[in-house]
Amino acid sequence: MKILNIRIINLLFISVILSVLGSCTPEVDSVFDDSSANRITKALQVDKEILQGAKNGWLMKYYPASDQRYGGYNMLVKFGTDGNAVIACDKFDASKTSTSNYSLVQSAGPVLTFNEYNEIIHYFSDPVNSDGIGKKGEGMLGDFEFTLREVSNQKIVMYGKKTNSRIEMTPISPDTNWTNYLKSIQVAEYNMGFGMYSYVAGNITAKVTMSYRSMTMNYADEKGNNISTNIPYLVTPTGYELYDTLSIGNVKVKTLTYNAGNHEFVSDGTGGAKLYGIITPLNQLLTGGSNWYFSYGNLSTFGQPYWDKAANDLYTKEGEVLSYMYLNANIIYFKSGSYPGKYTMTSSLQGDNNIGFKLSGYDSNGQFYYTNGYFQYFLYPFCGASGRSFTLSCDNIQNPTVIILTDVTDSSNVITLTKKSSAPY
In a domain, residue 88? The reply is yes
Residue 207 and residue 233 share a domain: yes
Residue 251 and residue 150 share a domain: no
The candidate with the shortest Cα–Cα distance to 421, out of 211, 256, 110, is: 211
In a domain, residue 15? The reply is no
What confidence score (pLDDT) does residue 107 get?
A: 86
The CB density around residue 320, as the number of other CB atoms within 10 Å, is: 17
Among residues 253, 278, 303, which one ends one of the domains?
Answer: 278
In a domain, residue 41? The reply is no
- Low-confidence stretches of the chain (pLDDT beneath 70): 1-34
Number of domains in the chain: 3
What pTM, to 2 d.p., does this model score? 0.77
Residue 339 and residue 365 share a domain: yes
Residue 231 and residue 342 share a domain: no
CATH number for the domain harbouring residue 239: 2.40.128.50
Residue pair 73/92 in contact by the 8 Å Cβ criterion: no
Residue 82 and residue 165 share a domain: yes
Residue 264 and residue 303 share a domain: no
In a domain, residue 2? The reply is no
What confidence score (pLDDT) does residue 34 get?
A: 64
Kind and range of the H or E element at 374?
helix 374-383
Residue 131 and residue 75 share a domain: yes
Among residues 278, 308, 327, which one ends one of the domains?
Answer: 278
In a domain, residue 349? The reply is yes
Residue 271 and residue 308 share a domain: no
Q: What would the 3-class secondary structure string for 179-211 be?
A: HHHHHHHHHHHHHCCCCEEEEEECCEEEEEEEE
Residues 350, 348: Cα–Cα separation, whole Å: 6
Which domain does 80 fall in, by range?
47-177
In a domain, residue 4? The reply is no
Residue pair 256/240 in contact by the 8 Å Cβ criterion: yes
Beta carbons within 8 Å of 101's beta carbon, 6+ residues apart: 83, 84, 85, 114, 115, 116
Positive or negative: CA dihedral 371, 374, 375, 377 = positive
The candidate with the shortest Cα–Cα distance to 370, out of 405, 406, 332, 407, is: 332
In a domain, residue 185? The reply is no
CATH number for the domain harbouring residue 327: 2.40.128
Among residues 130, 145, 177, which one ends one of the domains?
Answer: 177
Residue 366 and residue 273 share a domain: no
Residue 288 and residue 271 share a domain: no
Residue 227 and residue 142 share a domain: no
In a domain, residue 21? The reply is no
Residue 74 and residue 196 share a domain: no
Torsion of CA 21, 23, 26, 29, to 10 degrees: -10
